[in-house]
């Protein structure tokens, strides 16, 4: 449904992303991992049409993305970042906001907002302002705001990195449940391999702007992937003293 072809992104005279051919199939859920500064966010933003590549082409459902059609395609996508980026108005208005631009009428907006607040277990927060929400609650609002748009693809850039461990697990579980019902494509950037199995088994590893592996997480963890970056990424997890219970 999304494809990058011969993409190069140059910023400050430096190539920060170089992807010859990357294809996100219909319904595919892709986790993206890699060291800090590897180009994960740049890859996500390029796929989400938020970053204009220096050269190369992006295709959305077979159609080439251009300056003219990119806004229409962007309206079929939703993005969730690490920082919730909420407006200083009620939770309800925050979740309803994106639908205004998409011409959805008030009754339908209300129906959808209440439905998604309920599914993300925050209906009781409907009239609260984001400033006094906890980090986990605020991120639930961000997720509801993405799902309410009924997007064909959802991009998540380290959405839970700032949350404590148990909140992170709860959110991953709830997100996994909602995704199972929608069938939306997702691209999920994380620096924590432990988060991936909640959402998918399909992972891309990126290093210095290049996708060095795309395939199953299980083969990666089984040590079957003989790529230096992958082995380096796995090392801290092997050495970790985390208890498994």
CB atoms within 10 A of CB 148: 24
- Candidates 2, 16, 41, 60: give the one binding Mg ion (CB under 5 A): 41
* Cα gap 64→141, rounded to integer Å: 33
Q: Which region, judged by CB under 5 A, interacts with Mg ion, from 20-28, 39-47, 68-76, 220-228?
A: 39-47
* Cα gap 166→209, rounded to integer Å: 32
Q: Could you give the C-alpha distances from 50 to 43, 65, 70, 122, 153, in angstroms and in order?
A: 10, 12, 9, 29, 14
Site for ligand ATP in 10-29 (CB under 6 A): 11-12, 16
- Candidates 29, 30, 31, 41: give the one binding ligand ATP (CB under 6 A): 41
Q: Does 145 bind ligand ATP (CB under 6 A)?
A: no
C-beta of 55: minimal distance to ligand ATP in Å? 16
Select 75 or 214, whichever has its Cβ closest to ligand ATP: 214
Q: Does 40 bind ligand ATP (CB under 6 A)?
A: yes
* H helix and E strand count, the chain: 8, 10
- In degrees rounded to 5, what are phi and psi of residue 214? -140, 120
Q: Tell how strand 153-157 and strand 77-80 pair up.
A: parallel
Per-residue mark of binding to ligand ATP, 182-211 (x: CB under 6 A): ---------x--------------------
11 binds, among Mg ion, ligand ATP, none (CB under 5 to 8 A by kind): ligand ATP
Which residues form the interface with Mg ion (CB under 5 A)? 40-41
């Amino acid at each position: 449904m999304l494809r990058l072809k011969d993409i190069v992104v140059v910023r400050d005279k430096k190539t920060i992303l170089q992807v010859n051919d990357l294809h996100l199939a219909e319904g595919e859920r892709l986790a993206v991992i890699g060291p800090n500064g590897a180009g994960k966010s740049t890859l996500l933003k390029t796929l989400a049409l938020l970053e204009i590549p220096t050269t190369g082409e992006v295709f959305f459902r077979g159609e080439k993305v251009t300056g003219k059609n990119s806004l229409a395609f962007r309206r079929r996508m939703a993005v969730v970042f690490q920082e919730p980026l909420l407006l200083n108005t009620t939770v309800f208005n925050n979740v309803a906001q994106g639908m205004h631009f998409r011409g959805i009428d008030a009754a339908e907006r209300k129906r959808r907002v209440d439905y998604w607040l309920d599914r993300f277990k925050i209906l009781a927060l409907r009239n609260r302002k984001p400033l006094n929400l906890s980090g986990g609650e605020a991120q639930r609002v961000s997720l509801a705001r993405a799902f309410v748009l009924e997007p064909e693809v959802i991009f998540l850039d380290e959405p839970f990195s700032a949350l404590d461990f148990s909140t992170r697990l709860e959110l991953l579980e709830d997100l996994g449940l909602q995704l199972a019902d929608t069938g939306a494509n997702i691209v999920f950037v994380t620096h924590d391999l432990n988060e991936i199995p909640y959402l998918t088994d399909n992972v891309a590893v990126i290093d210095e702007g290049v996708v060095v592996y795309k395939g199953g997480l299980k083969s990666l963890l089984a040590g079957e992937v003989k790529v230096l970056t992958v082995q380096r990424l796995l090392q801290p997890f092997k050495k970790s003293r985390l208890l498994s219970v």
